[in-house]
Chains A and B, each alone.
Chain A
Amino acid sequence: MECYEDDVPHVLAVDDNLVDRKLVERLLKSSSCRVTTAENGMRALEYLGLRDNNQQSGFNGKGSKVNMIITDYCMPGMTGYELLQKIKESSFFKEVPVVIMSSENIPTRINECLEKGAETFMLKPLKLADVKKLRHQLTKCEN
């Protein structure tokens, strides 16, 4: 298993809601993650270098590898599910765990995401305990 850059996982958090973006960023940082936020699916794909099915390097300009993607489900333009699909279609990113968040507890939605390969589904609003659990799942760095 690869080590994380600087020993901390780098998480890409995608959410169109400004308040939620701020919250998820702080939650992840408090769990010792490096965080990059994106306000929608398109921006997330751009960051990953996957815009327009561009499968080149998978690294953005700064070359920061992403260890996990956490995304809201309901977003304008591209839903979290559609973003998940695009990520799973990418040979470069399909192994990156993708977590879906939603304020709505809809079993068909949850199953749909899990079947598409989402790592897990989290109900909003997010709490410290939720993120701590997630962080545990991410601890893979061997020294």
Chain B
Amino acid sequence: MAAVPQLQRQFIEYTTSLYNEGYLDDQFTQLQKLQDESNPDFVVEVVSLFFEDSEKLLNNLATALQQNIVDYKQVDSHVHQFKGSSSSIGAQRVTSVCVLFRNCCEEKNLDGCLRCLQQLKHEYINVRSKLEALFRLEQQILQAGGSIPMME
């Protein structure tokens, strides 16, 4: 089992890369600040809600875009939800795609929307696997008896 200092360094490096590569932004730090001894699982809880919500929205989007007559207002409303929740947890790349997606909705551009949906799925799957990796690292540190380093 890796030693705590090594795990902690790994954690810091990984987290830093997530911010540098734009997967996460400052809002994620806000979530971490809200976690404490009386709310030790807050980040995982909110992020889990985000995952559940996102998967529902992706399904709804796929369905809405498959209709013979696409209701762009409905599509936009799903994207708006997705934009909101991704922005609230700091999933920056997901939010960016949502912004482009809303433009396609406004233009009633079906091809554009379908492309955006693919991009959205891609970015969502990426951030989900990265966050899951981050949480696994945290668990490893805690199980090894260490504490999670505070990121500034």
Using a CB–CB cutoff of 8 Å, the interface residues on chain A facing chain B are 17-20, 22-23, 26-27, 30, 74, 76, 103, 124-128
Contacts and interface: CB of A to CB of B under 8 A. Distances in A.
A19 B27 contact: no
A18 to B, nearest CB: 5
Interface residues of B, number: 23
Contact of A22 (B27, B46, B84): B46
Given A26-B34, A30-B34, A128-B30, A19 B83 contact: no
A74 B80 contact: yes
B49 A127 contact: no
A22 B45 CA distance: 9
Given A74-B80, A103-B84, A19 B34 contact: no
A75 to B, nearest CB: 11
Given A19-B85, A126-B88, 14 more contacts: A18-B85, A19-B49, A19-B50, A19-B84, A20-B84, A20-B85, A22-B45, A22-B49, A23-B46, A26-B34, A103-B84, A124-B88, A125-B30, A128-B33
B81 interface: yes
| B interface majority secondary structure | helix
Contact of A26 (B42, B52, B83): B42
A126 B46 CA distance: 14
Contacts of B50: 19
B26 to A, nearest CB: 8
B89 interface: yes
Interface string B73-97: 0000100110111011110000000
Contact of A125 (B27, B45, B49): B27
Nearest to B27: A125
A17 B34 contact: no
Contacts of A103: 83-84, 87
Nearest to A125: B88
Contacts of B31: 23
A74 B80 CA distance: 9
Nearest to A102: B84
A20 B50 CA distance: 9
Contacts of A23: 31, 34, 46, 88-89
A76 B80 CA distance: 12
B53 interface: yes
A127 B27 contact: yes
Contacts of B52: 18
4 closest Cβ pairs, A-B complex: A19-B85, A125-B88, A26-B34, A125-B87
Contact of B84 (A17, A27, A76, A127): A17
Interface string B20-42: 00000001001101100001001
